[in-house]
Amino acid sequence: MKKRPSPPPAAMMAAFADAVYRVYDGDSKIELRIGQANPAMAALLARHGVAQGGLVTGENPFGQAQSPEANAAANAALAAAIDALGLVRLPSDGGSEDESWNEPGFLVLGGEGDPVDMLARAYRQAAWVRIDEQGRPHLAPCHYWRAGEGPEPCWPAGLFDDETPRPT
């Protein structure tokens, strides 16, 4: 069996699926849950004349905690990258209901192809959130090689429960 890039660990994806995602548009806050259409988000997309959007952060690459300074620098670089692509961005965050885990990021609106996927991979994110025209968010996992199995970037060693070598 040929080795392939792996999606994020199941526990990480479960945490992302259970998270609350918030988008800030002026004085309003739109709360999103994976798989649930949100009319306010659909209206925001329509108001900007786009059929899709995506949520992405620069924080905590590969789901590994970083210092507040490193996270702030990564999000500043991500904001500059979004701006350089000429895309509209709004502040967002995602995390637990009680906000004990919270990662600031951005809602990126529109763009040809999958600019948010490209950005998520460039900033070593485990996943990002694709938002369809109905304002329904969907998890979009990023696949990377496991450490030592392929070209960089790779998932860090020790991240998966089954760290035994996979068949080739």
Q: Would you say residue 70 lies in a domain?
A: yes
Residue 122 CB contacts under 8 Å (≥ 6 apart), including other chains: 81
Q: Looking at the domain assignment, is residue 101 inside a domain?
A: yes
pLDDT at 164: 52
152 within some domain: no
**114 falls within a domain:** yes
Distance CA 61, CA 64 (A): 6
Which token pair is 41?
A: 């988000």
pLDDT tens digits, 42-69: 999 999 999 999 999 999 999 999 999 9
Is 162 a member of any domain? Answer: no
Each residue's pLDDT tens digit, 81-130: 999 999 999 999 999 988 888 999 999 998 878 999 999 999 999 999 99
Give the residue numbers spanning the domain of 111: 10-144
Does some domain include residue 87? Answer: yes
Query: What does the pLDDT average to over 17-46?
Result: 97
Q: Does any domain span residue 157?
A: no
Write down the pTM of the prediction: 0.92
Give dist(CA 86, CA 97) in Å, integer: 32
* C-alpha dist (Å) from residue 20 to 99, 139, 157: 9, 12, 28
What tens digit of pLDDT does each residue of 116-133 get? 999 999 999 999 999 999
Residue with the larger pLDDT of the pair 31 and 1: 31
Q: What's the average model confidence in pLDDT over 148-154?
A: 90
What sign for the dihedral angle of Cα 35, 36, 38, 39? positive
Tally of domains in the chain: 1
Residue at 160 is within a domain = no
Q: Which residue in 77, 71, 130, 79 sits closest to 101, CA to CA? A: 71
Segment (H or E) for 83: helix 68-84
